[in-house]
Amino acid sequence: MMSSLLNRGLLWKEWRQNRWYFLLTGLLMAYVPVIKSLYFLFFGSKPVSEWEHLNHIAGFAQGYGAAVDPWGMVTVILLGALMLGEERKGSLTYLVSTPVSRSQIILAKFLVGSGIILLMMMVNSAFLLGMENLFPLPYNRMDVLHWAVLSSLVFLGLYTLTLMTSTFTSNVLAAGGLVFGLVYLPRAVVYLITVTADKYFSASQSFLIKAYNLGSYLTLTDYLTRSRRDKLSLFDASHSYTVDGFSGKIYPGIWTEGLYLILMILVLLLLAIVIFERSSLEPGGTIFAGRRARRCSGTTIAILLGWLLTLSWADSVELFFLSLAGLTLAVLALPELFSRVGRLSNKGGAA
Amino acid sequence: MGWAIETCNLFKSYDRIKAITDLTLTVPEGSVFGLIGPNGAGKSTLIRMLTGIVRPDQGDAFILGRSIKEKTGSIRQRVGYVPDVPTLYPSFSVADMFRLGCRLYEGWDERRCYELKRVFGLPTGQLVRNLSRGQKVQLALVMALSLRPRLLILDEPTAGLDPVIRRGFLQSVIEEVAERGTTVFYSTHNLNDLEQSADHIAALHQGNLLFSRSLDELKESIHRLQVMFARPQTEENLKTIPGLIDCQHKGRIFTLTVSGELDAIKNQPVLRAASLVEKVDLSLEEMFVALMKAHGYSFAPDYRPGGVLSGREEDAK
């Protein structure tokens, strides 16, 4: 089964085609932990214990601060978008006309890209352990292990998410942009749910905390900026307030979180394969290559916008539902309205 | 004889625009099958469906007996494809492309690849992005022929090529057919090329199949007649001829394009009154132009007789 899914020719092609992207990815991923450290070591004046970027590792282990520089996240998103998005320029039509299945194409891209990400995280971890042996640093081996495991899985998650979005977007920019939207989508939805439940249905605090926790576990960046796990903003009739430290532990279970991330990666990979197998590689020119993807994203945006606008003014349950339906339909109708106005003005101009 | 390609009620539309409508077509194994039709007829869409690039909305197609809906790509192990604009890997050298072909196709023939590369004079070390359009088409053809195909699908590959390269390209394809009995499914606007090499022709128009038949049958079914009348005649009188596709006249000399059996046409009362009825040779291109005109597709449509298709063509439609 596995041998029929793996195609060595495709693995070779991915390496040969993207080797310069892989080099760039490696350099950018190693920029903060390795290159920056080496620069400070040879040209810096501060003692090692005061290097902020290494202190982040310790901060991460203790439950606060971001453990990964944004460079790393942007890099893996870009890599995921490039791996399939670049092929949308034309070579994909050649590739799918060869005797390989679409699942083999996606799997080869996933394996080669993931391999590069894991390799670089191993290099970074080895370097950090070496530094910890040589200098008095505020982190230990376990901290590095935890950092390496969660960061690698978050990177792989972002990479797989981008690969998945590339299956229905028509270029690199669209895929990359959509990933940033999707990364924060669970947080946005949970925000809307908690505010709605709190404002219109007087939901209990335990329900709100559960909803928030769920959203947090679905938000990839929360695995890195872990301090957010324990902060929940709530609203009541008169004011907003923050519930802090409700989960009772500063240090969430790394291995449980790792398991969630692995499951998420597998689901995203499966989704990527299923969508890619069904998609027609139709000519580009639109952000979303497929009509279904265009409709789906348009509806999602309309609902979210309608919801957000409703929350700002509706003060009763009845008004909430009425406004939500009305505003969603209005937002959905806007593109059609614009296109009709455009067509009318074009006709007028032509006349 | 089996079918190299068999399509069953294929449908495909792009954003509500129908590209292919209820297409049922068979391509005999070992034939050189020409696919013709005006721009936007659905030829490329059909080919893109057959090669797995585009998914059909409805219906199915079979290549060498296997459904194009099969998820495994092994159906394409013996299918060579040369598109109008070859979209290969720009950052690969010609040698890299051959290496890729060798790794993807089980039946890759290194020796044949080397021979063809030498014949076409392809620069092995040059990057694909630096090749001219003609060289890219040649590279795609060398790759398609090196996998020892049972079916070769060509989508207007010679469009825009100079006559020397075009001739070399066609020569290689004809040799392939002669030596190995490969089926060639060839979409083109160059009907002179097709007339020299094809033995079957199918025409598409607005996603529909107009007809599909052998070249000989086609030539026997459409005729051009020069007719001279002793007395003045009107076009209205000639419209009574069944199967009339086109009618032009200068004075008393009429040039008619008609489909159907020649003797039956000549026996029409209106033609019996003519002082001269002479058959004129009709090229494939002239047949195509006349047929398309009958379907309302012409540069300057000036004549659209009704009921222009013969019974067979109506069936095909």
Based on the fold, state whether residues A40 and A85 are members of the same structural domain.
yes
Can you give the pLDDT at residue A116?
Answer: 95
**Which among A9, A92, A103 has CB closest to B104?**
A9
Of A245, A278, A311, which residue constitutes the final position of a domain?
A278
User: Is 50 exceeded by the pLDDT of residue B316?
Assistant: no
* Claim to verify: residue A67 and residue A125 sit in the same structural domain: yes
Say yes or no to pLDDT of A319 above 70. Answer: yes
Query: Chain B, 92-121: which have a CB under 8 Å from a chain A CB?
Result: 92, 96, 99-100, 103-106
The tokens for B33 are 């099958």
Residues A270 and A329 reside in one and the same domain: no
Q: Do the chains contact at A94 and B77, CB–CB below 8 Å?
A: no
> Chain A residue closest to B78 (CA)?
A99
Out of B14, B71, B104, closest to residue A282 by CB: B14
Is A267 part of any domain?
Answer: yes
Look at residue A66 and tell me whether its pLDDT is greater than 60: no
Determine the pLDDT at residue A205. 78
Q: Report the gap between the CA of B95 and the closest CA in chain A (Å).
A: 12
Percent of chain A with pLDDT over 90: 24
For residue B221, pLDDT beyond 90: no
The model's confidence at residue A119, banded by pLDDT at 50, 70 and 90, is very high
Total number of domains in chain A: 2
| pLDDT value at residue A89 | 82
Query: Does the distance separating the beta carbons of B72 and A13 come in below 8 Å?
Result: no
Q: Are residues A56 and A77 in the same domain?
A: yes
Residue A247 inside a domain? The answer is no
Does B104 sit within 8 Å of A98, measured CB to CB? Answer: yes
DSSP H or E run through A181: helix A172-201
pLDDT tens digits, residue range B77-106?
A: 999 999 988 889 999 999 999 999 999 999
Rounded distance, CA B154 to CA B128, Å?
Answer: 20
Q: What is the per-residue pLDDT across A130-171, written as a single tens digit (0 to 9) for each? A: 988 888 877 788 878 888 888 899 899 999 999 999 988 878
Interface probe, candidates A15, A21, A280, chain B, greatest B C-beta count within 10 A: A280
Q: Domain check: are A29 and A163 in the same one? A: yes
| Predicted local confidence at residue A63, as pLDDT | 52
- Please, which pLDDT band fits residue B317 given cuts at 50, 70 and 90? very low
Q: Which residues of A touch B54 (CB under 8 A)?
A: 280-282
Order of strands across the sheet that contains B244-250: B244-250, B253-259, B222-229, B274-280
User: Rounded mean pLDDT of A231-255?
Assistant: 58
- Kindly report, residue by residue over B27-78, the tens digit of the pLDDT: 999 899 999 988 888 999 999 999 988 889 899 999 999 999 888 888 899 9
Domain finish residue from A223, A246, A278: A278
- In chain B, which residue's Cα lies nearest the Cα of A9? B103
In a domain, A15, yes or no: yes
Q: How far apart are CA A79 and CA A150, in angstroms?
A: 19
Does residue A92 sit in the same domain as residue A127? yes
Handedness of CA B235, B241, B242, B245 (dihedral sign): negative
Q: What's the pLDDT band for B176 if we cut at 50, 70, 90?
A: confident
Is the model's pTM score more than 0.90?
Answer: no
Residue at B117: amino acid letter: K
* Residue A37 within any structural domain of the chain: yes
**Predicted pLDDT at A62:** 56
Distance CA A149, CA B24 (A): 55
Considering the domain architecture, whether residues A303 and A165 belong to the same structural domain is answered as: no
Distances (CA, A) of B83 to A16, A28, A136, A164, B28: 24, 38, 63, 28, 21
Among A61-70, A82-91, B226-235, where is mean pLDDT lowest?
A61-70
Same domain (yes/no): A342, A259: no
In B203-214, which positions are buried (b, 16+ CB within 10 angstroms) versus exposed (e)?
bbbbbbbbbbbe
Tell me, yes or no, whether A302 lies in a domain: yes
List Cβ<8 Å contacts ≥24 apart for B108-112: B108/B146, B108/B147, B108/B148, B109/B146, B109/B147, B109/B148, B110/B146, B112/B145, B112/B146, B112/B148
Residues of A with CB under 8 A from a CB of B: 4, 7-10, 12-13, 16-17, 89-94, 96-104, 277-282, 291
pLDDT in tens, B145-170: 999 999 999 998 887 778 888 888 88
Model confidence pLDDT, tens digit, residues A258-272: 888 899 999 999 999
Between the alpha carbon of residue B266 and those of residues A15, B238, B245, the distances in Å are: 69, 12, 15
User: How far is B139 from chain A, CA to nearest CA, in Å?
Assistant: 13
The residue of B20, B46, B47, B54 whose CB has the most chain A CBs within 10 angstroms, and thus the best one to mutate to test that interface, is B54
User: In terms of domains, do A45 and A90 share one?
Assistant: yes
A56 falls within a domain? yes
Sheet containing strand B208-214, edge to edge, reads B79-82, B151-155, B183-187, B32-36, B200-205, B208-214
Q: Is the ipTM of this complex over 0.90?
A: no
Give me the residues paired with residue A231 across strands: A244
Same structural domain for residues A89 and A47?
yes
Whether residue A73 is found in the same domain as residue A142: yes
Q: Smallest CA–CA separation between A103 and chain B, in Å?
A: 8
In this complex, the residue of B51, B89, B103 whose CB is nearest that of residue A9 is B103
| Residue numbers of the domain that contains A159 | 2-172+254-278
For residue A216, tell me if it sits in a domain.
no
d(CA B45, CA B53) in angstroms, rounded, equals 9
Residues A162 and A297 in one domain: no
**Looking at the domain assignment, is residue A180 inside a domain?**
no
